[in-house]
Chain A
Amino acid sequence: MPATEVYVDRLLGRHVLDQSGESIGRIEEIRVSGKGDRCFVDEYLVGRYAAFQRVAAWRLGRSLLGVFGRNRGKKGYRVGWEKIDLSDPERPRLLCAREELTPITDQ
């Protein structure tokens, strides 16, 4: 079976839908690691905190979220590569329950 190609820029900003069809947040970053000459995806960072982490405005962003009272609830998740179905890159779907995901925490 031939490999399908997906553009990273097309994945960015897409809502990831859980099994009930509800969004858990947008894809903001893709973590990869190299094995020899090849390089593979490890996990996707999803959600608002991931976006702030990407532009490295961690402190600035968190205090802004705090000001607008949106600091509670969904902040963001690290999602392993095997837990997202990318067969339709426009609609990435979560393959496990949301509760099984690792939340992104402050460090």
Chain B
Amino acid sequence: MNLVREVLDNQLRGRDGVKMGRVDGIVLELMPGAPPRVAYIEVGWVALARRISRRVGRWASTRRRQEGRRRDAYRIPWDRINKVGLDVVVDVDAERSPALASERWVRDRIIRRIPGG
């Protein structure tokens, strides 16, 4: 499998098929004497910021730590991936996952407060 071509930046869906962002980053784990292991995929704006430049990435990471978050981005372990095809489907309940935190915030704080929303 080609990690960059087939996984990175592809559409991410939860187990119920709900769209939950894109694969914004991939984390490898290095161990001496063993092939690097694909450990996690990451979703989140800090992972994206890191890809624009190191400085933007560091700034984004600092901001997020100031908000009291432990990690830069939401991580999904590789063994939770159910399928890699057109989309990457993971064994996660999208509606409750941190990946959709901003979607929920916009829905509850803004859209539902507008008549007809």
Contact = CB atoms under 8 A, between A and B. Distances in A.
Interface of A: 1, 3-12, 28-34, 37-42, 54, 81-82, 86-87
A5 B42 CA distance: 13
B70 interface: no
Contacts of B3: 8, 29-32, 41
Contact of B27 (A5, A41, A87): A5
Contacts, number: 85
B36 interface: yes
Chain B binding surface SS class: mixed
Interface residues of B, number: 25
Nearest to B2: A29
Contacts of A30: 2-4
Contact of B4 (A12, A37, A38): A12
Contacts of B2: 29-31, 54
Contact of A6 (B8, B28, B32): B28
Interface of B: 1-5, 8, 25-32, 34-39, 47, 50-51, 78-79
B50 A7 contact: yes
A8 B27 contact: yes
